[in-house]
Amino acid sequence: RVLVGTKVDESHANWVTAYNMLTGIRVSVSRTNAKLDRPLTDADFEVKQKSTFDIAGNELVPSAKYDFKFKDYAPWVFRHLRALFRLDPADYLISLTGKYILSELGSPGKSGSFFYFSRDYKYIIKTIHHAEHRFLRKILKDYYQHVKENPNTLLSQFYGLHRVKMPYGRKIHFVVMNNLFPPHRDIHQTFDLKGSTVGRDYKEEDLENNPRATLKDLNWLRRKRHLELGVQKKQLFLEQLQKDVRLLQRLQIMDYSLLIGIHDLEKGNEENLRDKTLRVFNPGGSKAPDDFDPHSVLMRTPSKLENQRKARELRQIIQSEKPVPMGETSSRMPDELEEGQGRSGFIFNQDDGGFRATHEDNTPADEIYYLGVIDCLTHYGIIKKIEHFWKGLSSDRSQISALPPQEYGERFINFISKVTMSQEEAHRLAQEEDAA
Ligand code: ATP
Ligand code: CA
Ligand code: CA
């Protein structure tokens, strides 16, 4: 069975953390959004807004169930970023904090970061290392400028940067970002591509047990896969990718990847419709197996009733001091999912929230891609230099993944460019190769 996340309820080990994260977001985001909009100033990028929560509460901070401290970083910058990404402020708050429901994915990567989905699967909370946190603050202005100039950027969309600290606990930094994959579409295959081949292989024999595992560069090549985009879409895609990678190179970032979720229109959504229950992934564990599948959940069009309920909830969130009911029953989760209309107006979300494959002549083909550049907060710092040194001793230097940012970006772009072509183009190329 495909697995998607463990619901974080009151019996979950990370319940208090999740509760505090959501309470902090709810209070600080509604505080910022309640004010009249204004242009950003340089100082906005440096702001840290601290709140202390406790059971008593005070005139600035409503009472909370647990004692904790919350920091909101550059709240106005993120408010503006959310607007640039065309999020509806009310929707954002409701999705994340309307009910205290998250599902935890554990930590699918090697970094130890934890991932949580909002109950409607639109948003992901990722815990990040202190170094990543510091780095994001440092590059925030460049990132903001880039998003302003490139509304269709493929880079991860950051919606908030926060920190929680429990009494005697350590500081937990986290970002809120977009889930690239839609709640309403089955993703039949997922690839995480870096353009490197060393160690970039998901064991094919393990696929039997994990048919939806995230595959990597070597699996892609082995399947002779292509990102099937005809002339027009290919150009749009590669041009944007190039601009995004230029930024990452300039900011000395590496280790990012292109995440591609493929929806096969021939298969459609059948598998989802057969399994209406929330699938459970890595129950209680922290270190997840090297795969994960954040989609494949049932979708449903929101009814009028649901919209009314939403409006009610929002009023509740904004007006009441009390957090909304916690720990609703787990069976509710799939009900919360609704049609992901996609982000209207964005190029790479134009086809049912994604980017539909095309033939050479730009007519539609049978796949929809959901894609973006993820994990882009790794600065080419000391750690990577060490890794480079060690790996360099044992492997071909140009193939290892910890290249300096300039080379990393070139290799990344080269790889993705090479595999982006329509079926027709790929077919011709194969014939030419056979002939030669
Ligand atoms: P590492 O540093 O070891 O690569 P990490 O903890 O930094 O791991 P990421 O690379 O950011 O984790 O993500 C790990 C996996 O989580 C990705 O391969 C992808 O399957 C999933 N994932 C990450 N971000 C998103 C996103 N925005 N939308 C959908 N899935 C995502
Ligand atoms: Ca990664
Ligand atoms: Ca990482």
Looking up tokens 């979720």, which residue turns up? 261
Pairing of strands 115-118, 355-358: unpaired
Q: Has residue 210 got a pLDDT over 50?
A: yes
In this prediction, residue 191 has a pLDDT band, given cuts at 50, 70 and 90, of very high
380 or 155, greater pLDDT: 155
Joined together, the tokens standing for residue 189 give 């295959």
**Span of 27-31, 297-301, 349-353, 404-408 with lowest mean pLDDT:** 297-301
Q: Do 384 and 411 share a domain, yes or no?
A: yes
**Span of 139-143, 216-220, 296-300, 344-348 with lowest mean pLDDT:** 296-300
Q: Has residue 238 got a pLDDT over 90?
A: yes
Looking up tokens 């601290």, which residue turns up? 50
Q: Is 412 helix (H, G, I), strand (E, B) or coil?
A: helix
CA–CA distances in Å: residue 21 to residues 4, 28, 118, 329: 21, 11, 12, 20
pLDDT on residue 307: 62
- Cα of 129 from ligand 1 centre, angstroms: 14
Pairwise CA distance, residues 356 & 364, whole Å: 7
Average pLDDT value for residue range 403-416 = 95
Pairwise CA distance, residues 403 & 429, whole Å: 30
- Cα of 115 from ligand 1 centre, angstroms: 8
Pairwise CA distance, residues 5 & 194, whole Å: 25
Average pLDDT value for residue range 412-432 = 96
**Span of 182-196, 198-212, 412-426 with lowest mean pLDDT:** 198-212
Pairwise CA distance, residues 58 & 70, whole Å: 15
Q: Do 84 and 214 share a domain, yes or no?
A: no
Percent of the chain with pLDDT over 70: 77
Beta strand extents in 265-391 (DSSP E only): 355-358, 364-374
Ligand 1 contact via 259 beta carbon (within 6 Å): yes
Decide if 1 is inside a domain.
no
Decide if 243 is inside a domain.
yes
CB 254 within 8 A of CB 380: yes
Pairwise CA distance, residues 124 & 180, whole Å: 9
pLDDT on residue 296: 26
Of 297, 315, 336, which one is at a domain's C-terminal end?
336
Q: Has residue 330 got a pLDDT over 70?
A: no
- Cα of 361 from ligand 1 centre, angstroms: 34
**Span of 19-23, 132-136, 235-239, 326-330 with lowest mean pLDDT:** 326-330
Between CA 86 and CA 95, with CA 92 as vertex, the angle to 5 degrees is 135
Of 336, 368, 386, which one is at a domain's C-terminal end?
336
Decide if 140 is inside a domain.
yes
Q: Do 256 and 381 share a domain, yes or no?
A: yes
Average pLDDT value for residue range 317-340 = 42
7 or 354, greater pLDDT: 354
Beta strand extents in 343-402 (DSSP E only): 355-358, 364-374
Q: Has residue 277 got a pLDDT over 70?
A: no
- Closest atom, ligand 1, to C-alpha of 112: 6
Ligand 1 mutation target, pool 374, 377, 401, most atoms within 8 A of CB: 374
pLDDT on residue 340: 43
Ligand 1 mutation target, pool 85, 110, 115, 121, most atoms within 8 A of CB: 115
Pairwise CA distance, residues 435 & 323, whole Å: 68
Pairwise CA distance, residues 173 & 159, whole Å: 14
Average pLDDT value for residue range 360-382 = 94
Ligand 1 contact via 8 beta carbon (within 6 Å): no
Identify the nearest ligand to the CA of 256 by its number.
2
Q: Has residue 325 got a pLDDT over 70?
A: no
* Residue-wise pLDDT tens digits, 11-62: 888 889 999 999 999 999 999 999 999 999 999 999 999 999 999 988 889 8
Ligand 1 contact via 294 beta carbon (within 6 Å): yes
Residue 179 CB contacts under 8 Å (≥ 6 apart), including other chains: 117, 118, 121, 122, 123, 124, 294
- Cα of 183 from ligand 3 centre, angstroms: 24
Domain assignment of residue 26, given as a range? 6-183+276-336
3-state helix, strand, coil in the chain (%, to 5): 40, 20, 40
Residue 416 CB contacts under 8 Å (≥ 6 apart), including other chains: 193, 195, 227, 238, 241, 258
Chain mean position to CA 206: 25
Q: What pTM was computed for the model?
A: 0.84
Ligand 1 contact via 116 beta carbon (within 6 Å): no
Looking up tokens 């935890």, which residue turns up? 104
Joined together, the tokens standing for residue 361 give 């002549």
Decide if 63 is inside a domain.
yes
Q: Has residue 281 got a pLDDT over 80?
A: no
**CATH number of the CATH domain containing 303:** 3.30.800.10
Average pLDDT value for residue range 380-387 = 67
ipTM over 0.90? The verdict is yes
CB count within 10 Å of CB 224 equals 9
Percent of the chain with pLDDT over 90: 63
Pairwise CA distance, residues 84 & 277, whole Å: 35
Q: Do 38 and 149 share a domain, yes or no?
A: yes
Nearest Cα residue to atom 5 of ligand 1: 109
Identify the nearest ligand to the CA of 112 by its number.
1
Closest by Cα among 262, 291, 260, 258 to 408 = 258
262 or 314, greater pLDDT: 262
Ligand 1 contact via 78 beta carbon (within 6 Å): no
Ligand 1 contact via 177 beta carbon (within 6 Å): yes
Tell me which range, 59-63, 165-169, 298-302, is most confidently predicted by mean pLDDT: 165-169
Closest by Cα among 39, 246, 228 to 146 = 246
Decide if 217 is inside a domain.
yes
Q: What is the mean pLDDT of the chain?
A: 83
Burial class of residue 260 (count of CB atoms within 10 Å of its CB; 0-12, 13-18, 19+):
buried
Looking up tokens 């990597």, which residue turns up? 216
Q: Do 150 and 63 share a domain, yes or no?
A: yes
- Domain count along the chain: 2
Average pLDDT value for residue range 265-273 = 74
